[in-house]
Structure 1
Amino acid sequence: MDEKIVKKLKNPSSFPYETKTVDFIETHISWIYLAGNYVYKIKKPVKFSFLDFSTIEKRKFYCEEEVRLNKRLCREMYLGVVPIVERSGEYYFEGEGVPIEYAVKMRRMPEERRMNHLLEKNEVGIADVEKIALTVAKFHEIATVIRDPAYGSPELIKEQIDDIKNHRATIEKACKMGKVVDYTLKKCDDFFKKGILLMLTRQRNGMIRDCHGDLHAANVFLGKKICIFDCVEFNKEFRYIDTASDIAFMAMDLDAYGREDLSKAFVKRYIQLTGDRKLLLILDYYKCYRANVRAKVAAIEYAEKPSEDSRRRIEKYCALMERYAGML
């Protein structure tokens, strides 16, 4: 789908219902149209080391996977996969015509109830994170156990952690924190050597499951019902993980917002509900890993287009990495 079609689909007449305005968001892998009460998300025809949307067949498949997987935690939001059609030289979401692309159709949720916005306004409390812990605990309990040893292995996690070395120069250029990268990698390597048996035991005990993979505040709507959305559909390596990794992501994110009280309450309630007390033995390692990935993403963005926002995020997540590494 080319830029001409992307632009034409911004017209309110492209939708199968009356709408006056269309909001548009572009990410490195998606085009997202927000119109009235619905959202349409189109996957870009791109291929990276971690995902492959290069053909229409693959894009349709991953649209279907996105709906299937996200219905696990946010059934009311994900409505299905719909075609984008061409009729008489014009392009439309749904309806009759020749399908030229596919989109995930979602119900539009109240943006003001998105958890990251609420955290910024100091409107998230312990009761909220305890409800999230309950939702995630129930989800993990019934999630498919992954027995393939290739997934969630200690070696795979170490490889993903070590990958930040490829971005050390950018991090040093952006905020002079190259030595922090060196320090955290050394501490993580030391933990890997002494903690590999623990990780392998968790793997054998069925703690590698079909998880969410991207569990942070921006992917949660706090309403009468907790809605956790936008899980990783495009790469099983990022979703077939230790349940502790899911928990560590949310805990790290709450720390990043300066809410260590909520982070601790979230972890405490999850452990109470699941009985997984050994999670604490590996939590800081996974929190360091999650901060590492966030720092790396910010570094990639900075390398492509330097900005103060990406520089600050590199700095913030490197500082968290260093802190967690010091606890290993």
Structure 2
Amino acid sequence: MTRLAQPTNATPHDGCNGLSEKRAFLMHRAWPESPPRCIETHASLIFLTRDRAFKLKKPVLLPHADMRTLAARAALCAEELRLNRALAGDTYRGLTAVVRRPNGSLCLGGAGRVVDWLVEMVRLPEAQMLDKRLVDGPEPRRDEITDFGQAMITFYRRQVAPPHAGATYFDRLTREMATDLRHLNQMRAHLGQSLSDALCQSAPVQLAAMRGAILARGKAGLVFEGHGDLRAEHVCLTRPPLAFDRVEFDHDFRLIDPHDEIAGLGLECARLGGDWIGPILAAQLAMAGFAPPPPALHRVYVVARCLTQARLAIDHLRDPNPRTPAKWAPRARNFLDMACAVMAADDAALDPARGVPRSPRHR
């Protein structure tokens, strides 16, 4: 098997019969052991063997990435490897080539023409993922959370705030919220009263009012490259703890206020029953010298997160054959209810170290 740090001989078109052939090869012929478990997302196929995880990027056009050519997928694989080694170390082992042999068959590495690339990772223990621990137990311990918080603080301290980071960040938040509200309104029939007119009208107004505060945080060096997609399913409570699956397709998506990133993780933990986790991480971040945002800006961060998570949930119902369709509308409504609760909360309740106000339906 060929494992490389960087892909080579990438060409504009892979000449392969397509994704179905690669999927069949990776499911049934690539491994000497039993067939792997396959997890499918909009962007990737992840093949889980006994001790490894191999990610194959799909040749698809996404809103933020065009992965239809081998060259594009090769570049994104290399960037994913580079970025994730910063927080997950050699859990990210390298890139493995899918090769077309002279006889026309596929193999992993060896002589032939490269038709795709796999990001190869050590398979992390599923039972130690933060989302699994919150749902199935045992409940994360405080020291496990503070160890993870310290790992993120160490990572944040290595980042350099680029010029105009605040303006780039504000513009991205504005575009993202406009997309969220457009999609949510298009799916209003599934959302009922949770998508209130008051929320739709006030959220962008409150964000616009925070432009000066966000620009000021950028000038103060408090907007820089973070994880970009810090969710409970991307945190593993091993020793040391790891965060993985950083956003590789767009640098601007990784430009973030660390308190926004931690608030987003805290929001998801609260939805899964761990409402104490966000406040601990926010307080730890502040004690490390990363000044927390004022309550009004914290409100905007949390509402924006809720809208994005609601949109990502309900957008599953746009798929021709959505997976587990029954869960997406309730999840979207749950995030919208939390957004309304945050909008209605007073400033004292919006101290980042106190967490996110719960909506009546929050659980």
Q: TM-score, normalised by structure 2?
A: 0.83
Code of the residue aligned with 1:52 in structure 2: it is D
Please tell me whether the aligned partners of residues 167 and 214 of structure 2 are also in contact (alpha carbons under 8 angstroms): no
Deviation of 1:184 after TM superposition, in Å, equals 2.4
- Does the 8 A contact of 2:259 with 2:293 survive in 1? no
Deviation, structure 1 residue 86: 1.7
CA distance in 2, matches of 1:157, 1:238: 10
Residue aligned with 1:177, SS: helix
Alpha-carbon distance in 1 for matches of 2:135, 2:301: 24
Aligned to 1:64: 78
Residue 153 of structure 1 aligns to a residue in which SS? helix
1:116 is aligned to 131
Partner of 1:37: 51
SS of equivalent to 1:274: coil
- Deviation, 1:178, is 5.8
How far apart are 1:94 and its partner, in Å?
2.5
Look up the match of 1:46: 60
Cα separation, 2, equivalents of 1:156 and 1:236: 11
1:147 aligns with 2:163: yes
Structure 1 residues 184 and 201, CA, compared in 2 at 3 Å: closer, same or farther? same
Query: Which of these residues, 234, 239, 254, is aligned with residue 224 of structure 1?
Result: 239
User: Are the aligned partners of 1:152 and 1:208 in contact in 2 as well (CA < 8 Å)?
Assistant: no
Aligned positions of 1:15-30 closer than 5 A:
15=31, 18-30=32-44
Structure 2 residue aligned with 1:264: 279
Aligned partner of 2:293 in structure 1 is 278
2:161·2:218 contact (CA, 8 Å) conserved in 1?
Answer: no
8 Å contact kept, 2:131–2:232: yes
| In structure 1, C-alpha distance between the alignment counterparts of 2:211 and 2:71, rounded to whole Å | 39
Provide the residue aligned with 2:332 in structure 1.
314
- For 2:306 and 2:299, the matched residues in 1 are separated by 10
For residues 274 and 93 of structure 1, do their structure 2 counterparts lie closer, same or farther at Cα, with a shift above 3 Å needed? farther
Instruction: Work out which of the residue numbers 141, 152, 158 in structure 1 matches 2:174.
Output: 158
Asked if residue 74 in structure 1 is aligned to residue 80 in structure 2, the reply is: no
The whole-number CA distance in structure 2 between the counterparts of 1:101 and 1:3 is 13
SS of 2:94 mapped into structure 1: strand
Which shifted more, 243-252 or 69-78?
243-252
- Structure 2 regions of 5+ residues with no counterpart? 1-17, 348-363
**Alignment match, 1:237:** 252
Q: Which residue of 1 aligns with 2:353?
A: none
**Rounded Cα–Cα distance in structure 1 between residues aligned with 2:21 and 2:166:** 42
Cα distance change on mapping 1:8 and 1:199 into 2, 3 Å: same
Q: Secondary structure at the match of 1:42?
A: strand
Per the alignment, do residues 144 and 113 of structure 1 end up closer, same or farther by CA in structure 2, a change over 3 Å counting? same
Q: CA RMSD in A?
A: 2.0
Aligned to 1:8: 25
1:268 and 1:91 map into 2 onto residues whose CA distance is 52
- Determine the C-alpha separation between the residues in 2 that align with 1:150 and 1:125: 35
In the alignment, the residues of structure 2 paired with residue 24 and residue 260 of structure 1 have an alpha-carbon distance, to the nearest angstrom, of: 31
| Structure 1 residues 67-107: Cα deviation after superposition (integer angstroms, max 9, x where no partner) | 00000000131011121012223212223322111111111
Q: What's the CA shift for 1:158? A: 2.0
Instruction: Report the AA paired with residue 25 of structure 1.
Output: I
Deviation track 1:233-281 (CA, whole Å, cap 9, x = no partner) reads 0112211222222112112112212322222112111211234133655
Distance 2:112 2:312 in 1: 39
CA drift of 1:179 comes to 3.9
Seen in structure 2, the aligned counterparts of structure 1 residues 297 and 179 have a Cα distance that, compared at 3 Å, is closer
For 2:111, the equivalent position in structure 1 comes to 96
Q: Which amino acid aligns with 1:283?
A: H
Say if 2:216 is the partner of 1:201: yes
Letter in 1 for 2:283: K
Deviation at 1:147, TM superposition (A): 1.7
Q: CA deviation at 1:228?
A: 0.3
1:137 aligns with 2:137: no
Q: Distance in 2 between matches of 1:32 and 1:189?
A: 37
Q: Distance in 1 between matches of 2:227 and 2:95?
A: 20
CA contact (8 A) 1:34 1:108 kept: yes
The aligned length equals: 324
Match of 2:6 in 1: none
In the superposition, relative to structure 1, how do residues 275 and 26 fare at CA in structure 2: closer, same or farther (>3 Å)? Answer: closer
2:184 is matched with: 168
In the alignment, structure 1 segments of 5+ residues that lack a partner are none
Q: Deviations over 1:170-199 (max 9, x none)?
A: 54211303643x322333234234322111
Please state how far the C-alpha of 1:294 moved relative to its aligned partner: 0.9
- TM-score, structure 1 as length reference: 0.92
Residue type of the alignment partner of 1:49: P
Aligned-pair CA distance for 1:303: 2.6
Name the CA distance, whole Å, in 1 between partners of 2:256 and 2:66: 20
Q: Which residue of 1 aligns with 2:360?
A: none
